[in-house]
Amino acid sequence: MSHEITERADGTAEAAFALTPAWHGLGTVLDHAMSSQEALTAAQLNWEVVQRPMAIGTPRTIETPDGPTETLLWEEYPTVKVNVRGDNNLFLGLVSERYTVVQNTEAFQFVDALVEEGQMEYESAFSLAGGRRVVLLARLPEVDYVTDDDALKRYILMSLTHDGTGAIKFGPCNVRVVCANTYAIALQEGTVRDLTIRHTGRIDGKLEEARGILSMANTRFDEHSSTARDLAAKKMTTDEWATYLDVMCPRIPKEDPDYTEMRAKRISETRSAITDCYHNDRQRLPGIAGSAWAAFNAVTEHIDHLPRRGATPRQKAETRFNVTLAGPGRDMKARAFDAACRIAGVATVS
């Protein structure tokens, strides 16, 4: 699956990101968290969806003074509309007559309105497949501190389709959404859900529903940060660290039919790399050094920084993404978190 970011005829991409570039290297990167207007402009999403009538032409032969002439008899279908981009006339999709367009500017205004005090800050904004889908990722004002130097961010995702294929989606996520791949992963978390508007009513009438979803999301964020603080408070003994390392990266005995010296060497190197991460400066911050939280972060850091294969930097970046977020790396991170909780005796959030 490619990134699917919309690339314009002039070679620019309809995407904007705060502080950190996306793995695909496309879009505008700002050196600060974006306001809605900054995100809308930087991502070039300030175009509108226009609805036009749909008609079907049926070939007909008519008699004229010059003889029979082929022509088209146009018949309009009042129950179907065509959504197109107002700036370039790109076809987006067929929709019913009851379909209500939610413009990109309205989506930003909707997300802004969720925070009654203070301005919502945007992490990313982009369009996919020529503008058929628009995705916004906002960072909530609340920051969860595991320790004074270790913070967890809260994200809210909103997406809307302009092709008539789905409802508006809204909800919390833990993934920094920067493309179609990470968008799909955020949906797999199961926390991003359909707003019941389904493009047949006014979006501003759904603020209370969205605030209800946000309230439940904040509860889950609170629970996760509480678990993280419990892990940080649990200092691992030498034996517990050895157990954790054996769980995450068990040695292969020579009696194993799959044993080879090369495989044993790779496992040994991986164990050493994870151990180095556990003892590096990032995991020696005050309050987390030697803890179960540091152990979990050591595994995730190792996964995220492994070298990846590819002929070009972008191909290497895509391989890194696929492994760390969508492939075995993602599963290994989940396993690392559960193992840390088990060894620390910390209850996980269901």
Could you write out the DSSP letters of every residue in 75-99? Answer: EEEEEEEEEEETTT--EEEEEETT-
What are the pLDDT digits (tens) for 99-136? 888 899 988 888 888 776 556 789 889 898 899 989 88
CB-based contacts of 259: which residues, under 8 Å, 6+ apart?
Answer: 252, 253
Segment holding 278, helix H or strand E:
helix 261-278
3-state SS, residue 186: helix
Helix or strand (DSSP H, E) at 125 = strand 121-128
Degrees, nearest 5: CA angle 205-191-296: 145
Token pair, residue 85, equals 């981009």
What's the whole-model pTM score?
0.68
Mean pLDDT of the chain: 80
In the structure, how many helices (H) and strands (E) does the chain have?
A: 9, 10
CA–chain centroid gap for 303, Å, is 19
Q: What is the mean pLDDT of residues 176-204?
A: 53
The CA distance from 88 to 90, in Å, is: 5
Residue among 12, 46, 17, 13 at smallest CA distance from 34: 17
> What is the SS3 string spanning 204-252?
HHHHHHHHHHHHHHHHHHHHHHHHHHHHHHCECCHHHHHHHHHHHCCCC
Sketch the domain layout of the chain as residue ranges: 15-48+100-210, 234-344
More confident residue, 25 or 233: 233
What are the residues whose beta carbons fall under 8 Å from the beta carbon of 189, sequence distance 6 or more? 173, 174, 175
Q: Cβ distance 126 to 5 under 8 Å?
A: yes
Query: In the β-sheet with 67-85, what is the strand arrangement from edge to edge?
Result: 49-64, 67-85, 91-96
The pLDDT score that the predictor gives to residue 167 is 78
What pLDDT score does 326 carry?
A: 41
**H helix or E strand, kind and range, residue 123:** strand 121-128
Asked whether residue 347 carries a pLDDT value surpassing 60, the answer given is yes
- Give the pLDDT score at 119: 65
If you search the block for the tokens 């050196």, which residue do you land on? Answer: 31
* CA distances, 226 to each of 97, 229, 269 (Å): 48, 5, 33
In the predicted structure, residue 322 carries a pLDDT above the cut 60: no
Higher pLDDT, 197 or 260: 260
Beta-carbon contacts of residue 186 (< 8 Å; ≥ 6 apart): 157, 173, 175, 177, 192
DSSP state of 168: -
> What is the band of 92 on the pLDDT scale with cuts at 50, 70, 90?
very high
